[in-house]
Each structure stands twice: as C-alpha cells, then as structure tokens.
Structure 1
Amino acid sequence: MANIAVVYHSGGGNTAVLAEAIGNGAASVPGAKVSLQRITSQQINAKLRWEDEGIAKELQQADGIIFGCPTLMGMVSTPFKAFMEAAFMPWAKQAWKDKFAGGFTNSASINGDKTNTQIQLLVFAAQMGMLWVPMGDHPGNNWSGGSESDMNRLGAFLGPMSQPRASVAEEAAHSADLQTGFRYGQRFASIVSHWTREGTHVTDRMFDAATAAAIKAQAQKAAK
C-alpha cells in the first residue's frame, strides 16, 4: 500500500480546493492511502515555530508527500515557510530521505511568479533528500488549437498550478486546473505505488554531524 500525504496551507480556500483534487486523484489509484494535512497559522507557537505532532507523524509514515501553498508576493506563504523551517530535525536525521515529493501552488494572476514558489518547494524537497515527481504532461493552451479547457493550461512542469481569480468564489475554481491536479495526483500515487511494490532499495540514513556536535555542545553547556 502506498501512503500519500498532501500537506498544504490555504488562506482563502483556493489551495484547499486544488489539494482536494490532487488527493482525489491519488486516492483513485488502487491500494493508495491518502491523507490531507492542512497547515494553519494556529499551529505556529509564540516563538514563531510551527508545531503539530499529529501532522508530523503522518508525514513520517508517508511514502510520498505532496507540498502545496498559495503564491504570495512571488513566494511560499508565511505559515508554510514556518512548516518548512520546522522540518529541521527530519532533515538532520534524513527521516524523509528517499520519500517521493511533489508540489503545487496557485495565485490569482496567470503568471504571478508561481514557478518561483514551486522552485522553493523543489529545493526544500531536495534538501530533505526526497525524489521529486514533476507534472509529466505537456503544456496546454499554447497553440491555435488550444483552449482554456486544456489539461495543464498554465504550462507548469514542476507540478500543478491553478489560477483562481481574486473576485471569484472558491467553488468556481477553473475546472481545467482541478482536472490537472487530479491527473497529477494519479501520476504521483501510481509512481509511489510502483516503487513500494517492487525493488529492494534500502535507504541509508546518517545524522548530520554538525547538528550532532551542536546538540552535544548545548548539552555540555547546560550541564555546567
């Protein structure tokens, strides 16, 4: 069984709609178990650190994690950035190494520098030692025979994008973007299912030496 987690932040609800479409696509793959984990500002403590033991446990158990957030000022949203920074210990332990990863985003503008957000998600996944699954579909709506209803109409390559216009309610999200998300969820879960079903690869994990030394030094200082 492939265990897939879709972890996302959604401010106005539009990212949540895309997350659900991706989750539904992943769940349509036989044997895939899918959970949606929502990041909220309420999970950020007084020290401005994100923490939620339940979500952290779900991500640790997942074979693949799809990250998502809105693009705000050309980058990931603040709550999601706090979540990324809180992944320090999984990074130090290489706890997510060789898990599959993907990413999605949305903004009201057709461009909106959404690719920059996806690059941030990609770099985060790379630092965590994860294996990125790209969109996998050709761009749509880019020739005389294309249309707004094309799959991948926004021409994304790293992962699904959506353009919910600022004046339109979330339930009016563009159907082509949701279909693109659904298809990506299917692709992601299918790849993860194949990997978990076959092969004998064993992940080699090592705790970060610099972090271990810093923890040791802090412990020694505290003991004095």
Structure 2
Amino acid sequence: MATKVYIVYYSMYGHVEKLAEEIKKGASTVEGVEAILWQVPETLPDEVLGKMGAPPKSDVPIITPHELAEADGVIFGFPTRFGMMAAQFKAFLDATGGLWRAQQLAGKPAGIFYSTGSQGGGQETTPLTAITQLVHHGMIFVPIGYTFGAGMFEMGQVKGGSPYGAGTYAGDGSRFPSELELEQAFHQGKYFAGIAKKFKSSS
C-alpha cells in the first residue's frame, strides 16, 4: 500500500499554497508515496475576506479533523499572525480533540512550513510554537535541518525558511515565493516523504 502524505494548509493570499504545491511535487517523486493536498476550513466570512483583498480559494478539498487519521504523515502549512500560526489553522487543530483522546495521530511523522510578512515576522517562532500542537498529539516532528545544503546559507538574496521547514516572505502581499524558496519546499516534500515511507515500512 502507498504511503499517504497529507499536505494540510491554510492560505489567505496564496503564498502558503504555492509552497504546498511544491512540497507535493517533491513528495510525489518518492516511489510508493501518494501526496495529497488539503485546505483547512476558512473561519472568516466572505465579506471580511473581500475587504481584506483575499482572492477566492482554490478547488483543493477541505479536510475534516477525522481525516487526518488516515494519513501516514502530515505536513502542516500556515501563514504567521504575530509570530504564531494563523487563527484559522489553530481553530482546525483545536477541533482535533477526538483524535487526541484516541491517540490516533500518535507516532505519525509531521512537518511544518509557513509564510511571514517580514524577516522579523516569525520565520522561527511560528514553527517553534506550532510544535506544541504536535507534541500533545504525540506526533514525531521531522525538521529539514540543514539537509537543503548550500541553499540554507544563502546570503545574497532574501530567503525564507529555516531548519524547521520551508518558508517564504510575503512582504506587503505582492511578493511570492522565489525560486530558491520553492526549491526548498520541493526538498522538504521529498525529504519528508522518504522518512514517512520508512516509518510506515518499519511499523
């Protein structure tokens, strides 16, 4: 049976979604892995989203909390709000209490990717604070560390991401992931999928 890797994300303006798409591409290069994109539910009304200039959501399906249990590994993605995950994603995780009570996510590998508005906006605090969610579920956090190689040490251009996972800078919203940021996301997908596959084969 294929190893199911779920890429579960929230994206208001599309930056996190771009990373998610590359992560899926990377994960899909690992033989025997089925990578699937999911969005978490929106909590803001359309009227508010319109005033915020948010574009319409893509046709990526909306996930329900119980569907997380079907995955062999999950990579969670979200934008930053004041150095932590956006409330939409936190609301989704808050609804996973049933999974927690039954320990249905315990032992599953999990990764994190994210978007921030600026260089001081939470490229490390966002994934660091998100790890608490994984810990309570007993999930096994899989960072990329420095496996991306030279790209981790790039100083000639602005680059999001960290050893915690792939990342991007949105700026005022007009900046989208650079080629290097997309390459890091692809790498994260491939790296994580390989580990998820090993976990499944050894269980």
Same fold, judged at TM 0.5 (above): yes
Output aligned runs, 1:41-80, within 5 Å.
41=42, 54-80=63-89
Q: What CA distance in whole angstroms lies between the structure 2 residues aligned with 1:195 and 1:123?
A: 21
Residue aligning to 2:168: 162
The answer on 1:186 being equivalent to 2:195 is no
- The match for 2:53 is none
Equivalent pair of 2:117/2:170 in contact (CA under 8 Å): yes
TM-align CA RMSD: 2.3
**Structure 1 position 181, deviation (Å):** 0.5
Say if 2:179 is the partner of 1:175.
yes
Q: What are structure 2's unaligned runs of at least 5 residues?
A: 46-60
- Distance (Å, rounded) in 1 between the aligned partners of 2:133 and 2:40: 16
Q: What CA distance in whole angstroms lies between the structure 1 residues aligned with 2:78 and 2:41?
A: 11
Q: Contact 1:8/1:80 (CA < 8 Å) preserved in 2?
A: yes
1:169 Cα deviation after fit: 5.4
Please give the alpha-carbon distance, in whole angstroms, between the structure 2 residues aligned to 1:176 and 1:109.
Answer: 17
The CA deviation at 1:118 is: 0.4
Q: Aligned pairs, how many?
A: 183
The structural deviation recorded for 1:154 is: 3.8
Aligned to 1:114: 123
What residue number does 1:132 align with? 141
Q: Give the CA deviation at 1:135.
A: 1.4
Displacement after TM superposition at 1:25 (Å): 0.8
Note the alpha carbon deviations across 1:183-203, whole angstroms, 9 max, x for none: 010000011112222x2x4xx
Provide TM-score, normalisation by structure 1: 0.75
Give, in whole Å, the separation in 1 of the partners of 2:197 and 2:91. Answer: 30
Check conservation: 2:110, 2:134, Cα contact below 8 A.
yes
SS in 2 for 1:183: helix
How far apart are 1:56 and its partner, in Å?
3.0
Percent identical? 28
Q: 2:164 corresponds to which letter in structure 1?
A: L
